[in-house]
Every structure is written in structure tokens, then in C-alpha cells.
Amino acid sequence: MKITILGSGTSTGVPMVGCHCPVCTSFDPKDTRTRASILVEIAGKFILIDTSPDLRRQALENAIPHIDAVLFTHTHADHINGIDDLRGFHLLHKRVIPCYGSKETLDMITRNFSYIFTGASQGGYTPLLEPHQVSGAFHLFGQTILPLPLVHGYSYSTGYRIGAIAYLTDCSRIPDTSMHLLSGLDILILDALRYTPHISHFNIEESLKVVEALKPRRTILTHLTHEVAHRDSEKLPPGVELAYDGMILESNIASMTANRQW
């Protein structure tokens, strides 16, 4: 399984508009962060998690050939507003792309972007996405995918475990019921936002406590603001790194030992 960090940035992206701080003006390309999203490749199939407002740029820069499924974490603009950029793939491949998310997430997306699901009555548009509500484990391309409810400030988001990797963006607490499903991870990609506390996100200190509890082989901290310079990665504990756009991760752990517990 190959994972590409398409976007490692918080909702503003880095650099943030109008900001002249050291990170926003840094010459290190790893300090440029588009909005958070990952791509998971399994046996030639591509699963996109979230459609960031930077999806078009991410798809071009990473030469994504097609998208076979989309998993949505929640409905904040930085995670869904690039949804229309899936149209190019649809025009090329003439396939309706299945998408997955919680009931609340899909209700909002199908309401606010109804034309994407129904096709417009005029102009000859056809539906682009097909919604699939998830509440428990499901299967895609031979892999078990486990949606994990997460607390995100005053709302909720959905993390996803795919085999021995987990993507937990936009969370301020992981309920015990989800923590129990996160043992034996090869790679954990986890929200860490910044150093100072935030009501809706783990900061770096809080993320490291999650890492201590779960003990994944490798952890990648993501959804980063301009408070965090990429060179700070050197100060993190062994096995923990900062994400950067274009980062590629490989997990060769077959479906997982933890699968037995599900």
C-alpha cells in the first residue's frame, strides 16, 4: 500500500495569505502546505481521502491517473471544497466515483453539491459521485476499511483505518471505542496543528500523547499551521515526523494482525 500526503496544511494553507512570518516566507519547499488530504494506492486503485480546495493542483503535481473512491472525513470547507475537481477524472474515465462518509457528512455534501450527485437537469451533465453511508467496517479493493468516529471540537469527524495505516485528521479527542481499533498500526497519520492549544485540534504535545498510547511503528503529524517549521521535525521523538506535501509512505504489512479484533 502506498500513501501520498497530498496536502499537509491547515485550513488556511501555508503560506497563509497576507502573512510574512518566517515559515510563510521560508525557502524550504516542505514549508509550503496545501490543504489536508491523502491518496492511498492499493493494487492499482486510488482512494482519495477528502477533496481539498487544492485538489486540482495536488492531482497535477502528483500525476494522479484516476480516482476510484473518495472517503470524506467531515464537511469543513478545507476538506470538501475541491469536490468539483473530480470532474476531470469523470470526463476521462466516464465512471461515477463512489464516495463514503458518515450520514451527517453525506447529508450536507449531497445537499450543498446536489448537482454532483444528481446531474444537472440541463446541459447534459451526468452524476459524478455516488454516496455510500458508512457506520462500520466496509471493503474496498480487497481491503477492510474501518471508519473511526473522532471528536473535533464541538463537532465530529471520521478517521479511517485501512489495513495497518490510519488517517486521523481534524480531531481533538479520540473516543475509547475508536482507540480500541487503532492497535498494531504500521503508520499513523495524525492531526497535530501547531504548538499552542486549539479547541478543535490536537496540538503537537497532545498528538505525542496519542502516539505514546498507540505506539505505531511510524507516525506522521499533519494539518500543520505556520507555527510549525518543517525543520522542527528533527526535534520530534524517534518514529515521529512532520508531514510535507508529496511525502510518500509505504506500508507492506498485510492486512493486519489487528484485523482479528474487529
User: Quick one: 26 or 110, whose CB is closer to Zn ion?
Assistant: 26
Q: Please compute, for residue 131, the number of CA atoms within 13 A of its CA located in the half-sphere on the CB side.
A: 20
Q: Which amino acid is at 93?
A: H
Does 76 bind Zn ion (CB under 5 A)? Our answer is yes
Listed ranges 21-29, 95-103, 178-186, 202-210: which one lies at the site for Zn ion (CB under 5 A): 21-29
What is the pairing mode between strands 45-49 and 69-71? parallel
Q: Which of 142, 8, 169 is nearest to 69 (CA)?
A: 142
| Residues paired with 185 in a beta bridge | none
If DSSP codes are grouped into helix, strand and coil, which group holds residue 148?
strand
Among 31, 78, 85, 245, binds Zn ion (CB under 5 A): 78
Does 90 bind Zn ion (CB under 5 A)? Our answer is no
Among 2, 21, 103, 262, binds Zn ion (CB under 5 A): 21
Tell me the C-alpha distance between 170 and 193, whole Å: 9
User: Quick one: 24 or 108, whose CB is closer to Zn ion?
Assistant: 24
DSSP letter (8 states) at residue 23: T
Under 8 Å between Cβ of 8 and 222: yes
Does 77 bind Zn ion (CB under 5 A)? Our answer is no
Min dist. Cβ of residue 225 to Zn ion (A): 8
User: Quick one: 143 or 169, whose CB is closer to Zn ion?
Assistant: 169
Q: Which of 223, 171, 226, 224 is nearest to 199 (CA)?
A: 171
Q: Which amino acid is at 174?
A: I
Does 170 bind Zn ion (CB under 5 A)? Our answer is yes
Query: What is the x/- site pattern for Zn ion, positions 210-249, by CB under 5 A?
Result: ----------------x-----------------------
User: Quick one: 76 or 90, whose CB is closer to Zn ion?
Assistant: 76
Dihedral pair phi/psi, residue 61, rounded to 5° = -65, -30
User: Quick one: 170 or 186, whose CB is closer to Zn ion?
Assistant: 170
Does 254 bind Zn ion (CB under 5 A)? Our answer is no
Query: What is the x/- site pattern for Zn ion, positions 120-159, by CB under 5 A?
Result: ----------------------------------------
Under 8 Å between Cβ of 9 and 34: yes
| Residues paired with 131 in a beta bridge | 99
Listed ranges 97-105, 159-167, 170-178, 180-188: which one lies at the site for Zn ion (CB under 5 A): 170-178
Q: N- to C-terminal Cα distance for the chain?
A: 20
Min dist. Cβ of residue 131 to Zn ion (A): 20
**Binding footprint of Zn ion on the chain (CB under 5 A):** 16, 19, 21, 24, 76, 78, 170, 226
